[in-house]
Structure 1
Amino acid sequence: MPDDAAKRDSAVAGEDVEKQTSGQTLFLNEDVTSLAWQDLTVTVNDRTTQAPRNILDASSGIVRPGQMMALMGPSGSGKTTLLNTLAQRQTPTHGKVLINGAECPLATHRAVSSFVEQEDTLIGSLTVEETLKFAAKLSLPSTVSKTEAYSRASSLIAAFGLSEQRRTLIGTPIQKGISGGQKRRVSVATHLITGPRVLYLDEPTSGLDSTASFEVMSFIRDIAKRNNLIVIASIHQPSTKTLELFSKVTLLSKGKTCFYGGVSEVDQYFRGLGMEIPHLTNPSEHMLDLTNVDFGSEEAQTRLDIIFEGWKNSERPHDLANEIKALSSHQAQVTPVAARPPFFSQVLTLLRRAFIKSYRDLVCYWVRVAMYMGLAIMMGTVWLRLSPTQEHIQPFINAIFFGSAFLSFMAVAYVPAFLEDRAVFVKERANGLYGPTAFLVTNFLVGLPFLFLIAFLFSVVSYWLIDLRPDGGAFFTWIMWLFLDLIAAESLVVLVSSIFPNFVVALALVAFANGLWMSVGGFLVAMPVLNVFWKYVFHYIDYQAYVFQGMMVNEFKDRIYDCEVQNGQCFCMYQSALQKECKIEGRAVLDNYDYAPGREGKWVGILIGIIVVYRLLGWLVTYLKKT
C-alpha cells in the first residue's frame, strides 16, 4: 500500500504541474461553497395497502467542498432515494436542496454536478484514453480547445493511476480488458472531465473486493481534497479503512435518519446510546447490524426505536437546522456554465465513437457479416446453378423468399449491441450531455455502411451461385432490396429494444415480429388467398412483403423459362403468350402472385416510409423513457 500511495501522490502532483503549465484549471468548483438539504421527504403509496408511506423522512445534511459524505443503511433504508433526490433525479414530496444556501433550477444542478451510476456503462471496445477523450469532446463547451480537452483527459488518466492502461481496451465479453477497479476509476474520471462541483456516486464499490474498494475511494478522496470537490456516495458496507476515507456519514433506516456527522464521531455517538462498537469490529458492519430489522426481530425493532428516539432528542438535528438556516441567510450565486457543444458537433463526435465501436466490436456487425457469408455460401450451394426451366421456377422463388426473410430475421443479432449503446446513452443523457435525437441519428448513420457491406457481400456470393437473372442492373437492384430490407429490420430492432430494453424480451419480440412478417408477406400464402384480416391489418405494413415483391419482379419480369417436354408434347405450368413456343414468360409467374411490374418505385417509397416510421417511433419512445 505505501508504494501505491506514492504512485498516487506522484500522479496527482504531476496533474498539478500540468494544470499550472497549461494555464487552465482542471476543476472549476470554486463558486460552490456548500450543498445542503433540509427536511427532504419522499412519499409513495404502499403497494399492498395503497396507504401513503415515507421512503425518505425529513432528512437533512450539509457537505462542503473537499468533503466526502457516505450515505449508509441496510437495503431499503432510503439511501438511494436520498442520493437520487439530491441529484434532482427524483422530486421530493417535501423539503429542499440548497446550493450555496439557495434553491436552484434543474439546469444549475446538472451544470454543477455529475452522477456516476452503480454499473460501469462503458463502451468495451474503446481504450481508456479514447473513453476519456470522447467524454471530453461530448461534455466540454465549444469554447474549450481540442488541445485543452485532451489535456484534461490526460491529466485525469494520470491522476487516477491509469497511465499504464492508457491504450488498453475497456473490455468486452470476448475481449479481455482492464480490471473491475480500473473500470470504476475510468467511470468516475469520465464524469470529472467537465470539472463538476458535486459528484454523486451510486454504490461506487459494488462488485469490488475490499482492496479494490479502498483503492477506488482513495483516488476519489485525493481528487476531492485537492480540487475542493463535493462527493456524496451511497455505499453499503465499506471496510474500516474505506469508511475512514469519508469526512461524514448519514445513516438511514426505514427512510429515517439514525445518525449524521463526522466518521470520527460514530463511536462516541453510539456509545452514548449504550450501543458501543465492539473492539476489532468494522464500524459500518456494526451500524448496519443495529439498524437492520429485515428479519422482524422484536429486539431489533426495539433497538431501532431507541436509535430513532436518540437522534430526535439529541442536539444534533437542532444544530444542523441552525447551520442550514445560516447558509440560507448568506446565499451566494453560482456562476453560469458554458453551454454544451452544438448538435452537429455532438453528432460528429458520436459518429466517430460509434464507428470505432462498430469496427472493433466483433459482436456488433462482424459476427453478422460472418453469419451472412455462411448463409450466402449455404444458399449458393443448396440452390446451385438453377437453370431457366419450368422445374426451377419454384426453387428460384424459394431462394428469393429465404434470402430476404432470413437476412431480415437475423437482425436479432443486433439487439445486444444496441442495448449496450442505449445503456451508455441513458447514462450520458442523465448527465445532460446530449439528447435522443443525436443518439438515434448517429445510430442510424453509423449502421448504413455496414448494412450495405453485408448486402453486397451476401449478393456477390449467393446471386451468381444460384444463377439469378444474369444482368448487371438486376444484380445491383437485388442489392438495393436487400439493403433496404436490412435497414428496416434493424430499425425494428431499435424500436422494440427501446420499448423493452431487456435482452431476452427484445430478442423474443423481434423474432416474433419477423415470423409474423414472413407469414403474411405473400409467399407462404399468396395474396389472392390470404385471409382478409391478415391482409389488411398486417400485410400492407410488412416491409418483408415489399422486399419480396421487388425481388420477384426483378427476377421474373424480363426472363423466359423453358416448359417441360414429355413424349414430344409441351407442358407449361404457367399460361403465357409464349406457350406456343413451349416457353413461359416470367411475367406469368408474377401474375400468379398478383405482382405487377412498374410499381417498384412505389414499393421503395413505402419501404422508406416504414423505416422512417420505425425510427420516429423509436425516437418518441426514447424521448419519453428516461431509463
Structure 2
Amino acid sequence: MTANANQSVSSPHRVSVNAVSATVARRGVSLAFRDVHVRAGDKDILKTISGGVERGEMMAVMGPSGAGKTTLLNVLSGRLKKSYTMKGHVEMNGQPLSKRLKRQISYVLQTDVYFTYLTLKQSLTYSALLRLPSSMSTKEKLMMVDHAMEALKIKHCENTIFGNMFVTGLSGGEKKRASIAGELLTDPAILMLDEPTSGLDSSSAQSLLRTVKHLATEEGKTVVATIHQPNTQCYNEFDKLLLLCEGEVAYIGPANCVIEYFDYVGYPCRGYYNPADFILELVTGSDEQKRHIKQSFKERGSHFLSALQNPPLEKPLRSIPEESEPNHVHVAMAPKRASLSRAVDLGGYPMSVLVENGTVGREKVDTVDVYEENDYSKFPTSFWTQFRVLLRRSFHQSRPEILSRLYLIQNLLMAFVVGIVWFRTEREEKNIRDKYGFFFFPTVYWCFNSMFPAALALGQERAIVLKERAAGSYRLSAYFLSKSLSEMPLIIIYPLLYWIVTYWMAGMRAGPEFITSLLILWLNAIAAQSMGLFVGSFVKNAKQLITVSSVTLLTAMLLGGFYVVHLPSWITWVSYLSPILFCFSALLNAEFGPGSQSFRCDPVVSAYDVCENVTSIVAQNGSDFLIQGADILKDFNITLLTWQCILGLIVLAVILRTATYLVLRFFEKPS
C-alpha cells in the first residue's frame, strides 16, 4: 500500500495523462459527409462527394494535384473560403456541423506557421494558456503541454526555437509534430491533417504517421489526412481511403482493399507495387480511363464494398430512399437531434460506408456525446487573460530584435556618425540650413526604422493570427493591443540612446528642450509604426509591401516641410497626413522657440532683413548676433505650434491604428 501511495504522489502527471486519454476516447465522434458539391466561380471543385470516418479510424484522402483534397478538408472542418459555394451536408454523429461543433475539430495546415524565436515549449505553453478554458489551472495546462509533447515524441527538443531559413531551429519533422501537438492541446475529437508528410523523408514521414495512428487508436481520435504519394509503410497506417479523381470519388472504403477493388473493375496491379503509386497512376491516366474509373465506382463500387462485410448483421438494415439510385454508394446518416448535448442514438450503431443491395450495414459501438454543455463558449479565456498572454508572447518573439547586438551597434554607430558630422555647429547664418538637416535626418531615420519592421512583422504573423482566430483562441482586439504595446521598448530604448549621443555632440539647445524633442521623436516613431501596421494590414505580398511602404514614406518626406517649404494651396492639406511634418516642425520649435540663442549675420550676403545694416548695428550694439529664433521659424514657414504638432502625431497614430484594426476585423476574417 505504501508503494502505491508513493507512486501516486510522485507521478501526478501520469494520472493526469490517463485522465486526458480517457476523456478523449469518451468524446470521440464519427464524421459523415453527403452529396458535397463545391463550386468556385464557373469551376466545379468537388462533385457530389459522400463518405465518412468513424472514431478511432484514420482516413487518407488521396488524388492528384487539383483533385480537391484540401478543399474537401476545408469543407469537413468548416473552413471553406467565402468565395466558394457549397452544397451538401457535413455531420458529426448526426448533428449538422455548427460553430460550436467546430470546436471539436483541429486543423493542421500543410504549411507550418509559427513564431521564429519561440521555443517549442514556449509556443505550446502560450497556446495552452490561450486555448484551454479558464476553469483549468495553470498547472493543469502545463501538464497538457507535457502530455502533448510526449505523445508526439518531441519532449527532447522542448527548449529549441522553431527557427527559419536564416536561423537554425527545429527540423522539418519536429515542426510537423509540433504543429500537431499544438492542436492536441484542446483535446479535439477530430484531427484534420493537410499533407502532414510533405517535405519529410520517408523515415520521418512513417514515424509521424505511426504516432498519429497511435493517437487515433489509443485516444479515440478521428483522423482525416490528405496525403499525396506515400510509400507502402506510410500507406498501411491508414484504415480507410478516399480516392479523388477530378473532384469525384474514384474509391472509398478500406485502404487495404483498394488493390482488390481495382482488380475487380479491370485494373489489376502487378506484384510488389506500392498501392499509392498504382492508384495515382490510374487516376492520372487518359481522359477515357478516368471516366471509366469514376463510372465504375458508381456502378460497381457498392457491390464490391457490400461483399467485404461477411459477418451477419445484428440489426435490420435501413433502406435507402426510393429516389436514390440503387446501384450508387450511399452513406448512412444518423437522424438529427434537437439537442447537441444528447447522445446520438442509432441503436448503438455508427455510420458505415459499406452498402449491400441498397441498404447500409452498421457495427456496434458505444454512443458518445458530440458536445458537452460545460465546454467553453465563444472564447475559452477572458480578454484580460488573452491580453496578458499575447503581450508576453509578442515580447518574447520580438526580444531577440530588441536585444540584438547588431541592432544596437547599428543605432549607436549611426548616432556617432551623425554627431561627428554636426559636431558643435557654430551659431552662424551659414549653418542654419545645416541645423535644419540635423533635425530632419532623425525624423526620417526613425520613420524608416519604425515603419518597415512593423509592416513586415504584421505580414509575417498574418497566417498565424488567421489560424489562431479560426480556432477561436482569442479576440482580435486582445492581439492588436498586445502587438502594439509589446514593441514599445524598440520605440523607447533606441531613439533614447540615439538622441543622447547626437543631441549633445551637436551642441543643441540645453535644458527641458531635450526632453521635449525626445518625446516628439517617440511620438513620431509611434506614428510611423502605425503607418507600417496599416500598410501591412492590407498588402499581403512581401515585395508589394516594401514598394507601398517606400512610396508612402517618400511621399511623407516630400510633404514634411524640408524639401518644399511653400506647397501649392490645393495640396497643402495633404501635408497634414505626414507625421514627418509634425515631428520636423515640433523639433524646430523646440530648438528655435522662445528663449533660444541668436545667430550671427552673414557679413557679405544675408537672407534676413534684420541683417541689412549689420555694420552700423554692430558699431552701435557691439554684436552681430542679430538673427532670432522667430526669424528662422518664419523663414522656414513653420506655422504649427509645438502642442499642435504633438496633438497631430497622437491623432494620426490613433486614426491609423484604428483603421488597421478595422481592416483586420472586417477584411481579414478567418475562414
Give 1:246 deviation, angstroms.
1.1
- Which of 389, 402, 406 is 1:349 aligned to? 389
Within-5 A mapping of 1:52-131:
53-90=43-80, 93-109=86-102, 111-131=103-123
Opposite residue 177 of structure 2, the aligned amino acid is R
Q: Mapping of 1:135-534 within 5 angstroms? A: 135-292=127-284, 300-314=286-300, 315=302, 316=305, 321-324=330-333, 330=345, 333-336=370-373, 337-339=375-377, 340-361=380-401, 368-410=407-449, 411-471=451-511, 473-526=512-565, 529-534=566-571
The residue aligned with 2:349 is none
Q: Does the aligned pair in 2 maintain the 1:42–1:57 contact within 8 Å? A: yes
Distance of aligned partners of 1:79 and 1:498 in 2 relative to their CA distance in 1, 3 Å threshold: same
Distance 1:549 1:129, change over 3 A: same
Q: Distance in 1 between matches of 2:163 and 2:32?
A: 38
Deviation track 1:49-97 (CA, whole Å, cap 9, x = no partner) reads: xxxx321011111111111111111111011110001111117521110
User: What is the CA-CA distance between 1:420 and the residue it aligns to?
Assistant: 2.6
Give me the identity figure in percent: 28
CA distance in 1, matches of 2:601, 2:469: 65
In 2: Cα distance, 1:22 partner to 1:57 partner: 42
CA distance in 1 between partners of 2:19 and 2:99 (Å): 27
Distance 1:21 1:519 in 2: 63
Partner Cα distance (1:611, 1:184) in 2: 39
Give the 3 Å change call, closer, same or farther, for CA 383–138 of structure 1 in structure 2.
Answer: same
Match of 2:608 among 548, 569, 574: 574
Instruction: Report the secondary structure of 1:452's partner residue.
Output: helix
- Give the equivalent residue in structure 2 for 1:45: 41
Specify the code of the residue in structure 1 equivalent to 2:389: T
Q: Is the 8 A contact 1:358 1:365 kept in 2?
A: no
In structure 2, the CA distance between the partners of 1:326 and 1:273, relative to structure 1 (3 Å rule), is farther
Deviations 1:327-348 (A, max 9, x none): 9883665223224101110010
2:312 equivalent in structure 1: none
Amino acid at match of 1:357: Q
**Aligned equivalent of 1:31, options 19, 27, 30:** 27
Which moves more between the two structures, 513-522 or 378-387?
A: 378-387
Question: What is the aligned counterpart of 1:550 among 568, 581, 586?
Answer: 586
State how far apart, in whole Å, the 2-side matches of 1:229 and 1:474 are. 66
Give the aligned partner of residue 593 of structure 1: 636
- Higher normalized helix content (fraction of residues): 1
Segments of 5+ residues of structure 1 without an aligned counterpart are 1-15, 47-52, 294-299
Deviation, structure 1 residue 366: 6.4
Cα distance in 2, alignment partners of residues 607 and 245 from structure 1:
60
Matched residues in 1 for 2:160 and 2:266: separation?
Answer: 52
Distance in 1 between residues matched to 2:68 and 2:424, nearest whole Å: 69
Deviations 1:467-491 (A, max 9, x none): 22122x1111111111111111111
How has the CA–CA distance of structure 1 residues 447 and 576 changed in structure 2, closer, same or farther, with 3 Å as cutoff? Answer: farther
CA contact (8 A) 2:456 2:536 kept: no
Aligned to 1:584: 627
> What secondary structure does 2:253 align onto?
strand
Shift of 1:452: 0.7
Distance in 1, Cα, partners of 2:551 & 2:411: 20
1:327/1:530 Cα in 2 relative to 1: closer, same or farther (>3 Å)?
Answer: closer
Q: Tell whether the 8 Å contact from 2:32 to 2:331 is kept in structure 1 after alignment.
A: no
- C-alpha distance in 2 between matches for 1:37 and 1:22: 32
Match of 1:563 in 2: 600
Shift of 1:326: 7.0
Q: Which of structure 1's runs of 4+ aligned residues deviate more than 6 A?
A: 326-329
Give the conservation status (yes or no) of the 8 Å contact 1:390–1:561: no
Task: Report the residue type matching 1:308 in the other structure.
Answer: K
Q: 1:532 to 1:287 in 2, by over 3 A?
A: farther
Q: How many angstroms does 1:280 deviate by?
A: 2.5
Matched length: 590
Find the residue that maps to 2:50 and give its secondary structure: strand
**Post-superposition offset of 1:254:** 1.2
Root-mean-square deviation (CA, aligned residues, Å) is 2.4
For 2:406 and 2:330, locate their aligned partners in 1 and report how far apart those are by CA, in whole Å.
Answer: 60
CA contact (8 A) 1:85 1:92 kept: no
Going from structure 1 to structure 2, the CA distance change for 1:174 and 1:302 (only over 3 Å counts) comes to: closer
Which runs of 5 or more residues in structure 2 are unaligned? 1-10, 306-325, 338-343, 347-368, 618-622
The answer to whether the 8 A contact 1:59-1:257 is kept is yes
CA distance in 1, matches of 2:270, 2:500: 75
Q: Secondary structure at the match of 2:118?
A: coil
Compared CA separation, residues 322 and 256, structure 1 to 2 (3 A): closer
* Secondary structure in structure 2 of the residue aligned to 1:450: helix
Shift in Å, 1:465: 1.5
Q: By how many angstroms is 1:367 displaced?
A: 5.2
Please list the CA deviations of residues 159-213 of structure 1 after superposition, one character each: whole Å capped at 9, or x if unmatched: 2111221211122444311111001100110011010111111111121122221
| Inter-CA distance 312–565: structure 2 relative to 1 (3 Å threshold) | closer
Match of 2:314 in 1: none
Contact kept in structure 2, 1:553 and 1:596, CA below 8 Å: no
